[in-house]
């Protein structure tokens, strides 16, 4: 995952070894967590707000990376919910496990290594919610992206909810930084630290790389209606859409018919 981008999970096996190593190091050192821009974290919070997870139900975080979504679900996990994190990289799973340990959530959290371009190692109708936050777009082939949404539909229970966000064609690394700083404007200490110390690294280590891959077509930027259609064609009724990530991402909520 790389800051929205941190879609970090679900990366296909043909990702460059350089950036696999980058993510591995980022997860192991928690550098990835520290460099994530505020706009990305706000997008994650929207996903958490839109997920409906009740006692005994399980959410699949498809492209979980280091588990940044996990702290946003603690209240629901405390009421008996279950979290399953899925990512391609072993370092992501190690980071997720460490986070669950720190939060004393081991009984509620599990992980599985899987590639979103392949059949998911889950039974039909085995989860109640799927969160796919900036992960599907890293699959270069259109058929693989379609397959991922079809697999989400397969593993969801009838009436289950998919919340997915992916970058738009207008993805703008500089605008993501501006939006992140705007969100932090009332936190002066954080604002100065992020502007001059953290976000220059965020921009050049993560966001610019994503922007380059999207412009080249290697990763896929969606038109809003295209993402809606992709989710609907996989068998979901569209319940909600919105722009996220400082205008560089689009979020869709679909319910399994």
Share above pLDDT 90 across residues of the chain, in percent, rounded to a whole number: 79
**SS3 category, 114:** coil
User: Is the pLDDT assigned to residue 6 strictly greater than 70?
Assistant: no
Dump pLDDT digits (tens) for 175-227: 999 999 999 999 999 999 999 999 999 999 889 989 999 999 999 999 999 99
User: Is the pLDDT assigned to residue 18 strictly greater than 90?
Assistant: no
CATH number, domain containing residue 119 = 3.40.50.150
User: Is the pLDDT assigned to residue 28 strictly greater than 80?
Assistant: no
Of 78 and 43, the one with more pLDDT: 43
Tokens 């997920």 sit on residue: 51
Q: Is residue 180 part of a domain?
A: yes
- pLDDT band of residue 17 (cuts 50, 70, 90) is low
Q: Domain of residue 61: give its range.
A: 17-256
List, in sequence order, every residue forming a beta bridge with 256; answer none if it has no partner: 236
Note the pTM of the prediction, 2 decimals.
0.91
Q: Which run of H or E residues covers position 129? A: strand 127-133
Q: Is residue 9 part of a domain?
A: no
Q: Is residue 6 part of a domain?
A: no
The runs of H, that is alpha helices, within the chain are 17-29, 31-35, 38-50, 74-78, 90-102, 142-155, 173-183, 188-193, 199-202, 208-216, 224-233
User: Is the pLDDT assigned to residue 7 strictly greater than 90?
Assistant: no
Dump pLDDT digits (tens) for 120-166: 999 999 999 999 999 999 999 999 999 999 999 999 999 999 999 99
List, in sequence order, every residue forming a beta bridge with 132; answer none if it has no partner: 164
Q: Cβ atoms within 10 A of the Cβ of 141, count?
A: 12
Q: Which two tokens stand for residue 229?
A: 């259609």
């Amino acid at each position: 995952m790389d800051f929205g981008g941190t879609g970090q999970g679900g990366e296909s096996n043909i990702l460059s070894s350089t950036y696999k190593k980058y993510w591995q190091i980022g997860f192991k050192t928690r550098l990835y967590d520290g460099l994530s821009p505020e706009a990305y974290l706000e997008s994650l919070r929207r996903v958490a707000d839109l997920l409906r997870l009740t006692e005994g139900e399980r959410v699949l975080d498809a492209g979980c990376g280091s588990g940044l979504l996990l702290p946003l679900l603690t209240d629901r996990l405390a009421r008996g919910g279950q979290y399953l994190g899925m990512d391609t990289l072993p370092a992501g799973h190690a980071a997720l496990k460490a986070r669950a340990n720190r939060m004393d959530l081991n009984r509620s959290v599990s992980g599985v290594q899987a590639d979103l371009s392949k059949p998911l190692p889950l039974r039909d109708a085995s989860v109640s919610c799927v969160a796919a936050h900036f992960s599907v777009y890293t699959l270069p082939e259109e058929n693989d992206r379609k397959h991922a949404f079809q697999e989400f539909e397969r593993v969801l229970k009838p009436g289950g909810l998919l919340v997915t966000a992916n970058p738009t064609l207008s993805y703008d690394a500089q605008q993501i930084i501006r939006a992140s700083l705007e969100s932090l404007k009332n936190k002066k200490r954080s604002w100065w630290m992020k502007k001059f110390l953290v976000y220059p690294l965020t921009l050049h280590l993560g966001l610019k790389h994503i922007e380059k891959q999207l412009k080249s077509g290697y990763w896929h930027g969606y038109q809003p209606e295209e993402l809606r259609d992709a989710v609907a064609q996989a068998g979901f009724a569209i319940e909600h859409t919105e722009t996220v990530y400082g205008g560089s991402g689009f979020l869709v909520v679909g319910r399994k018919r």
